[in-house]
Amino acid sequence: MEKKTAVLSTLGALIIGTLFLTAYGVWIEPYRIEVSHVWIQDSYWGKILEKKVLVQLSDLHIGKIGRREQRVLRILDGLRPDFIFLTGDYVKWKGDYKAALSFLARLKARTGIWAVMGDYDYSSPRKSCLFCHDEGSAHPARSHAVRFLKDSVVSVRLPKGPLRIAGIDMKEEQALSRRGKLGDLGKNGPVLVLSHSPLAFDLFSEDQDVLILAGDTHGGQIPLPSWLLSAIGYRKNALYSQGLFVKGNKRMFVNRGIGTSHLPLRLFRRPEITVLHFTP
């Protein structure tokens, strides 16, 4: 009888704990947005970007402008960024693009906003064009100030030197590596690279002076061991789940994103806005 009571007590505790964690993961943690401050020491980046506020957003997966999205916008207003960098997945899979476009229209940065697209953004190919062009037109989008980079590099003139920004298009990522178009990036001066997938880190050699900003992983949304992530086909999460990675001259920061995919749940993987600081 005592053994049966102990078993029932343990089972009850497990059920209550599971329900509590599920409730926390669905209704609380996805809205507890963390502002992460990342400090990078580099002679060139520090010279041209010292005292500048650079912000990275990723994986918004917007269905509507709700409580979470309003919170992001308020945080951004408080940060007053010089640059905003967006690393893909602004919509839900085959979802409505209007809310995402409305969100982008409310972003403000002193110098500019640059972005790349993610796989979810291409889930409705015809609608994906709305990010870059006015509907029914080849004219660049006028509803927002975001400049989308598709396998291209731009140079932004700053008082102490140029900032080169490259964007790797999600659809072409592996093809780019085969064609060797990334081979010269970072060899003639530092380049900031935007990529949705963190697997872009593997496309660069250690002598390329690049800083990659990526997302896609959501930090896993829940903590799982690397071997399990590899076994279920999530190599990107197993290798580059979140945070800063350094190998030779190349560096990468992987942002946990704001929204969720597959399951509307986060456990110990809070949504994240990244602020990058550079010192000489």
Radius of gyration of the chain from its Cα atoms, rounded to whole angstroms: 20
Q: Could you tell me which of 39, 279, 49, 277 has the C-alpha nearest to residue 164?
A: 49
Q: Please state the pTM of the whole predicted model.
A: 0.94
In this structure, what token pair is assigned to residue 99?
Answer: 């809310």
Q: Could you tell me which of 164, 156, 161 has the C-alpha nearest to residue 186?
A: 164
Within-domain flag for 171 = yes
Within-domain flag for 222 = yes
Residue-level pLDDT at 234: 85
Within-domain flag for 14 = no
Domain count, the chain: 1
Within-domain flag for 2 = no
Q: pLDDT tens-digit profile of 226-272?
A: 888 888 888 899 999 999 999 999 999 999 999 999 889 999 999 99
Within-domain flag for 113 = yes
| Sequence letter at residue 245 | F
Provide the CATH number for the domain around residue 197.
3.60.21
End-to-end CA distance of the chain: 70
In this structure, what token pair is assigned to residue 257?
Answer: 């994103």
Residue-level pLDDT at 185: 83
Within-domain flag for 19 = no
Q: pLDDT tens-digit profile of 205-220?
A: 999 999 999 999 999 9
Q: pLDDT tens-digit profile of 188-198?
A: 889 999 999 99
Within-domain flag for 143 = yes
Within-domain flag for 11 = no
Query: CA 58: distance to chain centroid?
Result: 3
Q: pLDDT tens-digit profile of 141-167?
A: 888 999 999 888 999 999 999 999 999
Q: Which domain holds residue 179?
A: 32-279
Residue-level pLDDT at 4: 67
